């Protein structure tokens, strides 16, 4: 894998993959939106079930991004590979956005269904902590001028913060929460109707492809900025 | 198009959720593309001036 982690090779491969990834993301998002708006209203939730088609994928992608960021940070910490540091740094703003979207859309679903914009239950609170972890990670990168030291410090923060991922996942089992339990990846199969599963999966795939598209663009930007900085040092 | 607007009493919440998501995603797409093209232009400028 490290063979492909050469920045020059990465620029070539990612440049070829980007249009395909972006195109696939657009197709899945368009199909997901069509299915989301043509699905019938839920017998209990009414049309608010349509919020689930953007809330759940945003939450999945937010957690996936943190996992990818922590993995890249760990590789950067162990192998001191600059591309891994760049990948971790590039993931943070994307993860912060998807986390914020999951929180806002969840709140917009919660008000009509629970009667409250926000409750301090295990799932919601651990997800808010995820947003703070992303913001803290971005702030720490910006606070340390030396790139190597910044990469090391932020990698430790990312790895410590990764403990929050299983807390988010199992919060609905560990504590009595207002947030519903697992309804898709559970023993005995999904508990929601197929008519809602298809738009959910289409949007989840679309969000995931969008994440990888944007992540690659951010990594490429980071590589170019690093090249520019080293060139400036050479010139001065 | 009428099916899109015939959403029970919760239509405001649904449209607000989709609106916020659309703005957020469009915003980050523009930011990512803009910062990429700025970084590329800056590097090209530096490479042009390099001996």
d(CA A200, CA B14): 15
**Count of A–B CB contacts within 8 Å?**
90
A46 - beta bridge partners?
A42
Tell me whether A225 touches chain B (CB under 8 Å): yes
A48 to B14: CB separation less than 8 angstroms, yes or no: yes
Closest chain A residue by Cα to residue B8? A47
d(CA B40, CA B34): 10
Which of 32-91 (A) contact B at CB < 8 A? 37-38, 41, 46-48, 50-51, 54-55, 58
| CA A6, A8, A9, A14 torsion-angle sign | positive
How is residue B48 written in tokens?
């042009």
A42 - beta bridge partners?
A46
Alpha-carbon distances, residue A48 vs A52, A54, B35 (angstroms): 7, 11, 36
Q: pLDDT averaged over chain B?
A: 89
d(CA A35, CA B7): 15
d(CA A202, CA A200): 6
pLDDT in tens, B4-40: 656 788 889 999 999 999 999 999 999 999 999 999 9
**Which residues of chain B are within 8 Å of residue A228 when distances are taken between CB atoms?**
39, 42-43, 46
Return the percentage of chain A with pLDDT > 90, whole number.
74
Residue A153 — very low, low, confident or very high, per pLDDT cuts 50/70/90? very high
d(CA B24, CA B10): 22
Q: pLDDT averaged over chain A?
A: 92
At residue A46, φ and ψ (nearest 5 deg) are 65, -145
How is residue A202 written in tokens?
């289409």
d(CA A32, CA B18): 13
B46 to A235: CB separation less than 8 angstroms, yes or no: yes
């Amino acid at each position: 894998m490290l063979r492909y982690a050469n920045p020059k090779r990465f620029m070539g491969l990612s440049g070829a993959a980007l249009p395909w990834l972006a195109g696939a993301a657009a197709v899945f998002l368009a199909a997901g939106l069509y299915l989301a708006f043509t699905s019938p209203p839920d017998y209990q939730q009414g049309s608010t079930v349509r919020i689930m088609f953007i809330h759940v994928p945003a939450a999945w992608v937010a957690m996936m991004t943190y996992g990818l960021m922590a993995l890249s940070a760990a590789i950067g910490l162990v192998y001191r590979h600059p591309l891994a540091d760049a990948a971790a740094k590039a993931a943070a703003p994307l993860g912060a956005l998807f986390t914020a979207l999951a929180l806002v859309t969840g709140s917009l679903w919660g008000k009509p269904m629970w009667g409250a914009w926000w409750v301090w239950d295990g799932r919601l609170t651990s997800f808010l902590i995820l947003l703070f972890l992303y913001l803290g990670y971005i702030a720490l990168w910006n606070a340390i001028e030396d790139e190597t030291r910044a990469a090391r410090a932020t990698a430790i923060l990312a790895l410590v913060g990764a403990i929050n991922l299983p807390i988010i996942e199992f919060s609905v089992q560990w504590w009595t929460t207002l947030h519903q339990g697992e309804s898709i990846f559970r023993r005995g199969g999904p508990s929601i109707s197929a008519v809602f599963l298809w738009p959910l999966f289409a949007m989840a795939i679309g969000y995931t492809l969008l994440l990888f598209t944007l992540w690659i663009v951010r990594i490429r930007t980071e590589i170019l900025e690093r090249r520019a900085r080293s060139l400036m040092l050479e010139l001065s | 198009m009428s099916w899109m607007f015939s959403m029970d009493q919760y239509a405001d919440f649904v449209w607000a959720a989709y609106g916020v998501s659309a703005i957020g995603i469009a915003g980050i797409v523009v930011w990512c593309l803009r910062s990429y093209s700025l970084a590329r232009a800056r590097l090209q400028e530096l490479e042009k001036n390099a001996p």
